[in-house]
Amino acid sequence: MEVLISLAKVIFAFVIVLQLTLVLLWVERKGSALIQDRVGANRANLFGGLLPFNLGIVNTWMADPLKLFHKEDIVPADADRFLHWLAPWIAIFPLFVTFTVIPFGDVLIAGGYTINLQGADLNLGILYVLAMLSMAVYGVIVGGWASNSRYAFLGGVRGSAQMVSYEIAMGLSLVSVVLTFGTLDFQEIARAQGDLLFGVFPAWGFFYQPLALLIFFIAGMAESKRAPFDLPEAESELVAGFYTEYSGSKQSVFMMADFVEVAIVAGLVTTLFFGGWQVPWLYRDGFHFPGGFHVFVPSLLVTVLQVLSFLVKLFLFCWLQILIRWSLPRLRYDQLMDLGWKRLLPLSLANVAITAVFVLLFDGKTVW
């Protein structure tokens, strides 16, 4: 039974990320159309226009992957066939498994079981996420190399240098979060954010660590290699960067990896800085509004509300990343490396030092 529950949780977490990436594909098309004041994807329809409204989401949710998976798989003659196959696999696998440790709800008490709503409740969650994100760089570098094409290779080397540069800033910004909460466990961090500041505001992470949030968000966007950090796949300079020589499902896997990364960054930002599954003032037995006002909510509904809250926050931060992507111009490569090494790295080191002093002076919690 325990094994089945675990399996169900793992599958649920995986389905969240899989569906989210597919929906994001559609949101990105419609969203970019909205930002650029054009119509966007509006052709494919589930019931052929029988419905009064357009189920445009079906276009990318179902039709797009099906179409891409039926394209011809072209491997350049000079390429290394095995590595050419392996690269997209390495690009997406570590990202898929990352989402397993992000909690999507508090404990669910049902049928005599207390189920922790988290794919795998590792107590070293943050280190696990860093480890898996550090593996994703191989997909880029191997993909560029295996194609045996100059554009692809240059894209791959650029991409891997960019990813490793921003990994440092990302890791350091999370160190200050760990300093604040004193644990590496995502579920504990999410629970700690259920407290109240001044008895009014929910004690979400961004009150304690606004700078870490900023650094983490920038570094996370750079890791996902999307505009304004899309140097490795800069269309106007490098064709399509490290995946120039890819077609069909392999190419769509690379594209999907970017979206999974967007989802992971959104998930981490939600969990570490915006309370994860916390709904403000909602506790196990219902809402406790500031001022002593109490509304009873049944336990099961509380869990449902928490999972919904997590999904809504997750989606909002994905949307924010898409908005940024379509609003900002691409950085130059020197600006990109400057930002990573000369701005974010010293800034995040300073943030760790400040946080450490604050923790010692005020225990980090009573700063406000």
Partner 1 sequence: MTLFWILACVTIPAALTVILHRNPVYSALALVFTLFQVAIMFVALDAHLIAFLQIIIYAGAIVVLILFAIMLLSLEPEEPGDGRSSLRAAGWGAAALLGLELVAIAAVFPDTPAAEKPLPEGYGSVAKIAERLFTTHLLPFELTSVLLLVAVVGAVVMARRRTGP
Partner 2 sequence: MLNPYVALLMSFALCALVATIMVCASWILGPKHPTKTKLEIFETGNPPLGSLRGMRFPVKFYLTAILFIVFDIEVVFMYPWAVIFRQLGWAGLAEMAVFVAVLTVGLAYVWRVGALEWE
Using CB under 8 A, list all residues that contact partner 1: 80, 83, 86, 123-124, 127-128, 130-132, 134-135, 137-138, 141-142, 145, 153, 157, 160, 164, 167, 184
Instruction: Give yes or no for residue 195 binding partner 2 (CB under 8 A).
Output: no
Residue selected from 333, 343, 347, 367 as contacting partner 2 according to rule CB under 8 A: 333
Instruction: Give yes or no for residue 363 binding partner 2 (CB under 8 A).
Output: yes
- Determine the size of the site formed for partner 2 (CB under 8 A): 86
Binding region for partner 2 (CB under 8 A) out of 196-204, 219-227, 267-275, 339-347: 339-347
Instruction: Give yes or no for residue 109 binding partner 2 (CB under 8 A).
Output: no
Nearer Cβ to partner 1 (178/214): 178
Per residue, the 3-state secondary structure of 328-351, as one string, reads: CCCCCHHHHHHHHHHHHHHHHHHH
Nearer Cβ to partner 1 (16/133): 133
Nearer Cβ to partner 1 (94/275): 94
Q: Give least dist CB 242 to partner 1, A.
A: 12
Backbone φ and ψ for 41, nearest 5 degrees, come out as: -60, 120
Q: Which residues pair with 114 in a beta bridge?
A: 109
Instruction: Give yes or no for residue 349 binding partner 2 (CB under 8 A).
Output: yes
Q: How is residue 302 written in tokens?
A: 């509380």
Site residues for partner 2, 171-190, by CB under 8 A, read 171-172, 175-176, 178-179, 182-184
Place of tokens 């890819």: 246
Binding region for partner 2 (CB under 8 A) out of 22-30, 147-155, 210-218, 306-314: 147-155
* Cα–Cα distance measured from residue 214 to residue 366, given in angstroms and rounded to the nearest whole number: 22
Cα dihedral 9, 12, 14, 16 sign: negative
Q: Give least dist CB 176 to partner 2, A.
A: 8
Residue selected from 55, 57, 61, 151 as contacting partner 2 according to rule CB under 8 A: 151
Q: What does 11 interact with, of partner 2, partner 1, none (CB < 5 to 8 A by kind)?
A: partner 2
Nearer Cβ to partner 2 (132/282): 132
Q: Give least dist CB 161 to partner 1, A.
A: 8
Residues in the chain: 368
**CA-based nearest residue to 98, from 213, 332, 214, 262:** 262
Q: Give least dist CB 265 to partner 1, A.
A: 18
* Cα–Cα distance measured from residue 317 to residue 268, given in angstroms and rounded to the nearest whole number: 10
Instruction: Give yes or no for residue 191 binding partner 2 (CB under 8 A).
Output: no
Rounded to the nearest angstrom, the gap between the alpha carbon of residue 319 and the centroid of all alpha carbons in its chain is 11
Binding region for partner 2 (CB under 8 A) out of 2-10, 37-45, 191-199, 316-324: 2-10
Nearer Cβ to partner 1 (82/296): 82
* Cα–Cα distance measured from residue 270 to residue 268, given in angstroms and rounded to the nearest whole number: 5
Q: Give least dist CB 51 to partner 2, A.
A: 29
Going across the sheet that includes 293-296, the strands are 282-283, 286-289, 293-296
* Cα–Cα distance measured from residue 306 to residue 351, given in angstroms and rounded to the nearest whole number: 31
* Cα–Cα distance measured from residue 61 to residue 69, given in angstroms and rounded to the nearest whole number: 13
Percent of the chain that is helix, strand, coil (3-state, to 5): 65, 5, 30
* Cα–Cα distance measured from residue 335 to residue 288, given in angstroms and rounded to the nearest whole number: 48
Whether 99 and 17 have beta carbons less than 8 Å apart is answered as: yes
Nearer Cβ to partner 2 (27/170): 170
* Cα–Cα distance measured from residue 44 to residue 28, given in angstroms and rounded to the nearest whole number: 16
Q: What does 106 interact with, of partner 2, partner 1, none (CB < 5 to 8 A by kind)?
A: none
Q: Give least dist CB 90 to partner 1, A.
A: 8
Instruction: Give yes or no for residue 135 binding partner 2 (CB under 8 A).
Output: no
Q: Give least dist CB 215 to partner 1, A.
A: 19
**CA-based nearest residue to 125, from 190, 192, 185, 189:** 185
Instruction: Give yes or no for residue 112 binding partner 2 (CB under 8 A).
Output: no
Nearer Cβ to partner 2 (15/316): 15
